[in-house]
Amino acid sequence: GSRILILENHDDFGGHAKRNEFHQGGRMRLSWGGTMNLEYPMFSNTVHELLEELGVDIDELLEGYDFAYGSGPKGSPSVYFDADTYGRNKLVRGFSFREGSSDNWDALIDQFPVSEKSRASLKAFYARRENVLAGKSDEQVREFLSSISYTGFLEKYGGLTDEACDLFIQTTHGYWGVGADSLSVAECIGAGLPIMHLLGDRNLSGSGDDDAGGDVAMFPDGNASIARLLVQALIPSVAPGSNAQNIAMAQFDYSQLDEAGQAVRLRLNSTVVNVAGGDEGTSTSYVDQGRLWRVKSRHTVLACYHAIIPHLSPDLPDKQKEAQKYQVKRPLILTNVLLRNSKAFDALGIAGAYCPGRLHGAMWQVKGVNTAGYRHEWGDQGTVPIMFWGSVAPHDSSVPVKEQHRASRAMLLSMSFEDFEREVRTVLDGMLSPAGFDVQEDILAITVNRWPHGYAYDYLDLWDPDWPAGQAPHEIARQPFGNIAIANSDAGADAYTHVAID
């Protein structure tokens, strides 16, 4: 019997679960503009129950999942060194900074356009098998690994030059929204970066191994499919007959989102500017098409990010507003580029590449997620989305991490579409032109998903204290205020879909 109005300030629903559709060059192609993974090993009963209600079967998703973030299954992992940064364009195939190489490290590292000293330090680093912290207990090791940056450890204990250390910084940009120079060793273990071979390969339970990033399931448009399933469950007339088995290809009738008389209405392009109220009810003011509107309701849920809430609800307790301001979002970029075909990638034998000197730290072909009614096989040489993924490196990574985020955000917001277009054209030309790729002819479309306020603020070993239970900023920030409730990924201080659901 309830009536619900959902106010969405974007032109589409889902927030960071952003769907990118391409219709140029033939069949529709899908890619991710935001959150991609379902980290199913970390799901709570609450998450499992919601997905079951929506008809989502993780086993079905896994059957259609054949994607590995640039490491295959068609094409080896690779590293692209660009001429602007390293003096010449060089694609090194078969090497991953996370994994190294199974048998020919030296030959691959010798191709790196860095100094001879840096190459020698990298070869020695990957070849070593020892325990540089011998004599320390596991607890002492865990504490130490949480107190030193990954690049600091590489320099002091791994024997790498500054130049060699810098090559690792952007490996965590898309994954964390933070460079490896601002993350602890423990956190980078959780991100899969190499270090255990210098720690005696000991079992360090609690050193990053609880972090997400392992086994995942995936929809072809990422968790936009979850948002679409939620909307269809609330407003069935938007996509009659759609379900978890066909949701990626379902046509949504957006005219049905905000129909008078419906119990649930979803109003796009509506920016909330004030939420007030107490135990008797709430008053929400929002702007739509240049006009200010106010709606009264019994309850209001704020699902926006925490740092904006003090501006929307200035009557909240000061302690709560300060806690909300503490949770500064991490900037993120996902730039999708539709190519006429994948022939240059196939000719080079790569699925993607890590790009240590460029704006986006990584790029890869988006193929092999054949679920929810959508198919794009690796053998298909037709149009293909290429996803560029990363963050904006701050000028000074030694300042507090939230200042880094503010500086990165300012840089990101100062960039025009032409800046992104020039960037992807430069990278694709330098990497693929030897295989016949023509940037003038073979780029069909570019979509920039710019997230100045992207990932939720999770607490970092090097920058945040340990708070007593119940006293962490996100725990204070999310408390209800009268009939106003707060629910989002910030409320769990972690940038994952299952955290937002919880």
pLDDT digits (tens, 9 = 90+) for 345-370: 999 999 999 999 999 999 999 999 99
User: What is residue 182's predicted lDDT score, i.e. its pLDDT?
Assistant: 95
**Which H or E run contains 388?**
strand 384-390
Across the range 372-390, mean pLDDT stands at: 95
3-state secondary structure string, 194-263? CCHHHECCCCCCCCCCCCCCCCCEECCCCCHHHHHHHHHHHCHHHCCCCCCCCHHHCCCCHHHCCCCCCC
Across the range 75-80, mean pLDDT stands at: 90
Burial of 108 (0-12, 13-18, 19+ CB in 10 A): buried
Position 396 confidence tier, pLDDT thresholds 50, 70, 90: confident
Position 306 confidence tier, pLDDT thresholds 50, 70, 90: very high
- pLDDT, tens digit (0-9, with 9 covering 90-100), for 320-345: 999 999 999 999 999 999 999 999 99
Q: Say whether pLDDT at 52 is over 50.
A: yes
Position 393 confidence tier, pLDDT thresholds 50, 70, 90: confident
Peptide bond into 434 cis (omega under 30): no
Q: What share of the chain is helix, strand, coil (3-state, %, to 5)?
A: 35, 20, 45
The percentage of the chain sitting over the pLDDT mark of 70, rounded to a whole number, equals: 96
Angle (CA) 369-373-377 rounded to 5° is: 40
User: What is residue 102's predicted lDDT score, i.e. its pLDDT?
Assistant: 60
**Which H or E run contains 145?**
helix 138-145
Across the range 395-419, mean pLDDT stands at: 93
User: What is residue 105's predicted lDDT score, i.e. its pLDDT?
Assistant: 86
The number of CA neighbours under 13 Å toward the Cβ of 64 is 19
- pLDDT, tens digit (0-9, with 9 covering 90-100), for 269-282: 999 999 998 678 99
CA 395 vs CA 392, 410, 455: distances in Å:
9, 11, 20
**Which H or E run contains 384?**
strand 384-390
Q: Work out the mean pLDDT of the chain and round it to a whole number.
A: 93
**C-alpha 252: how far from chain center:** 25
Give the C-alpha separation, 211 to 499, whole Å.
13
User: What is residue 211's predicted lDDT score, i.e. its pLDDT?
Assistant: 39
Through-space distance between the first and last CA atoms of the chain, rounded to whole angstroms: 24
Cβ distance 42 to 496 under 8 Å? Answer: yes
As a whole number of Å, the CA-based R_g of the chain is 24
- pLDDT, tens digit (0-9, with 9 covering 90-100), for 185-228: 999 998 889 999 999 876 665 444 333 347 899 999 999 999 99
This prediction has a pTM of 0.94
Question: Which residues, at least 6 apart from 171, have a Cβ–Cβ distance to it below 8 Å?
Answer: 97, 98, 180, 191, 193, 354, 361
Q: Say whether pLDDT at 317 is over 50.
A: yes
E strands along 244-383, which residues? 264-267, 270-278, 281-288, 291-297, 300-302, 330-339, 352-354, 362-365
Long-range contacts of the stretch 123-128 (C-beta < 8 A, 24+):
124/159, 125/154, 125/158, 125/159, 125/160, 125/164, 125/194, 126/100, 126/101, 126/194, 126/197, 128/158, 128/159, 128/197, 128/198
Cβ distance 357 to 2 under 8 Å? Answer: no
Across the range 236-247, mean pLDDT stands at: 97
Strand partners, 93: 78
Q: Which residue in 141, 498, 456, 135 sits closest to 327, CA to CA?
A: 456
User: What is residue 397's predicted lDDT score, i.e. its pLDDT?
Assistant: 83
Q: Which residue in 486, 458, 474, 470 sits closest to 313, CA to CA?
A: 486
User: What is residue 209's predicted lDDT score, i.e. its pLDDT?
Assistant: 39
User: Looking up tokens 């209001």, which residue turns up?
Assistant: 300
Give the C-alpha separation, 69 to 366, whole Å.
8
Give the C-alpha separation, 415 to 377, whole Å.
34
Across the range 401-411, mean pLDDT stands at: 94
The number of CA neighbours under 13 Å toward the Cβ of 326 is 22
Token pair recorded at residue 434: 């030897």
Q: Which residue in 136, 171, 179, 178 sits closest to 157, CA to CA?
A: 136
**C-alpha 281: how far from chain center:** 36
